[in-house]
Amino acid sequence: MLNSSKHFHNYPTLLTITLILAFSIQTFKQSLYDHFLDHISLIHILTFTFLTISILTFHIFTKPRTIYLIDFACFKPPSTFRVPYATAVEHGRIIFASEPKSIAFLIKILERSGLGEETCLPHTLHYLPPNPSMKDARDESQLVIFAAMDSLLQQTGINPKDIDILIVNCSLFSPTPSLSSLVVNRYKMRSNVKSYNLSGMGCSAGLISIDFAKNLLQVHPDSYAVVISTEIITPNSYRGKERSMLLPNILFRVGGAAILLTNRQSQRKHAKYKLLHVVRTHKGSEDKSYRCVTQEEDKEGHVGIALNLDLMAIAADSLKSNISAIGPLVLPAKEQLLFVVNLLGRKFLKLDLKPYIPDFKKAFDHFCIHAGGRAVIDELQKNLKLSSEDVEASRMTLYRFGNTSSSSLWYELGYVEAKGRMKKGDRVWQIGFGSGFKCNSAVWECNREIEAAKNGAWADCIHRYPVNGTEIVKV
């Protein structure tokens, strides 16, 4: 809906232009069209001219606003939070001393996880045994969110009171007051700030928040929006023995990101990226998809996240649906034609053809695949026919920071920037997966030249990456 009060001042101008044009036409009646115009009254001319200008004005003001990403910042955990491989194994042996099969499972998963020696957990989860409280969860929230916000404010120079829209997404920790209220209170934002708190939406919630911010910015002109993506894991560590529920303990690590968006044209030259598309796919109507990732209790009453064995197949199916929607928006005409011809041949002519996978490298320069685990990255690399360099940012994010849930895509984009690979005009494809089951995509275009960052989560260690494949396997 248009903000009519904001544009009402344009109508006196329109009326003036209409009268001028009408007068000009009346004067022009003495020319070649004199005979024809004699039959047209002034009221007809005024009506036609006013309607034409009104239609053009309506078109201009209802045209979708361009959304820009000014900058973003990722939380860098303190070194005291590190969980080296030896520490993780030692803690596992102590906690599961009477469960040798659970210990063997944990070690096996760790060796194949793709995580490195510097991933971090909140301080409470370093205790033996862990006994997190609500206060501990709030402490983690404040540490991650405030650090990311402080960095964003410093990088952009924006005043918190200039922020018009605030969106915080955290899937599993949803306290009262909300996390968005926590931010409003800390930074003393305006009383009319539009704040929202999203929970329960899984690892793809970050792109859902971007889509939400985009829609809000379409109807609120000249605004700034901040999106904060995180997962507070202090109260969500599983303490039972079920294998399907132990996996998140191994993969998930502390992390978060803050992103500043705007629709202000005055920021066009300063913004890093321009948002081109957001495509969301939700497979929750299918029972298998809905139940493949669930928070539940085990037989002993311990709460955790259960991962179904069908997870990878469901993720692949969701990706196909998402690709079908985003392909026509981004792929060159030749790739779209080959895809359609292949589909028609298989479906209607019953030809024995392999499904044609479009070459998305012709549409994108960089890929940010949710660092949910090594198996997720492997599967997408194979399905999309990507090179090792194409998925380097995802693998290195998993290796250095672990699975940071919805914020992992921003650590990956930060990696590309820190390597100095982002050039003006480059296109980036972010792909996120989440419970429900959801697959979401965002497409960004680099708006200006971006130098390798001298600060941020990657600044002091980017020279050590990428590590080779052997190191990743052995952790």
pLDDT in tens, the chain (475 residues): 334 444 444 545 555 555 555 555 555 545 545 555 555 566 666 777 777 777 776 656 667 899 999 999 999 999 999 999 999 899 888 888 888 888 888 888 888 899 999 999 999 999 888 888 999 999 999 999 999 999 999 999 999 999 999 999 999 999 999 999 999 999 999 999 999 999 999 999 999 999 999 999 999 999 999 999 999 999 988 888 888 888 888 899 999 999 999 999 999 999 999 999 999 999 999 999 999 999 999 999 999 999 888 888 999 999 989 998 998 899 999 888 888 888 888 888 878 888 788 899 999 999 999 999 998 999 999 989 999 999 999 999 999 999 999 999 999 999 999 999 999 999 999 999 999 899 999 999 999 999 887 778 999 999 999 997 544 443 3
Looking at residue 241, its pLDDT comes to 84
Quote the CA–CA distance of 404 and 251 in Å, as a whole number.
9
Query: b/e map of 227-252 (b: 16 or more CB within 10 Å)?
Result: bbbbbbbbbbbbbbbbeebbbbbbbb
Residue 343 has, within 13 A of its CA and on its CB side, a CA count of 9
For this structure, is 366 an active site residue?
yes
**Which residues sit opposite 296 in a β-bridge?**
304
Quote the CA–CA distance of 147 and 257 in Å, as a whole number.
9
Q: Tell me if 410 sits within 8 A of 257, measured CB to CB.
A: yes
For this structure, is 368 an active site residue?
no
Quote the CA–CA distance of 418 and 413 in Å, as a whole number.
9
Record the pTM: 0.86
Catalytic residue chosen out of the listed positions 74, 370, 439, 446: 370
Looking at residue 133, its pLDDT comes to 92
Catalytic residue chosen out of the listed positions 236, 322, 403, 440: 403
Looking at residue 471, its pLDDT comes to 46
Looking at residue 6, its pLDDT comes to 41
Looking at residue 128, its pLDDT comes to 85
Q: Of 465, 446, 470, which Cα lies nearest the Cα of 68?
A: 446
Catalytic residue chosen out of the listed positions 74, 170, 203, 439: 203
For this structure, is 308 an active site residue?
no
Using DSSP bridges, classify how beta strands 427-434 and 438-446 pair: parallel, antiparallel or unpaired. Answer: antiparallel
What are the structural domain ranges in the chain? 4-62, 68-474
CATH number, domain 68-474, options 3.40.50.720, 3.40.50.300, 2.40.70.10, 3.40.47.10:
3.40.47.10
For this structure, is 203 an active site residue?
yes
Sign of the CA dihedral running 452, 456, 461, 465 = negative
Looking at residue 47, its pLDDT comes to 75
For this structure, is 35 an active site residue?
no
Catalytic residue chosen out of the listed positions 91, 282, 292, 447: 282
Using DSSP bridges, classify how beta strands 194-198 and 165-169 pair: parallel, antiparallel or unpaired. Answer: parallel
Looking at residue 346, its pLDDT comes to 82
Sign of the CA dihedral running 323, 324, 326, 329 = positive
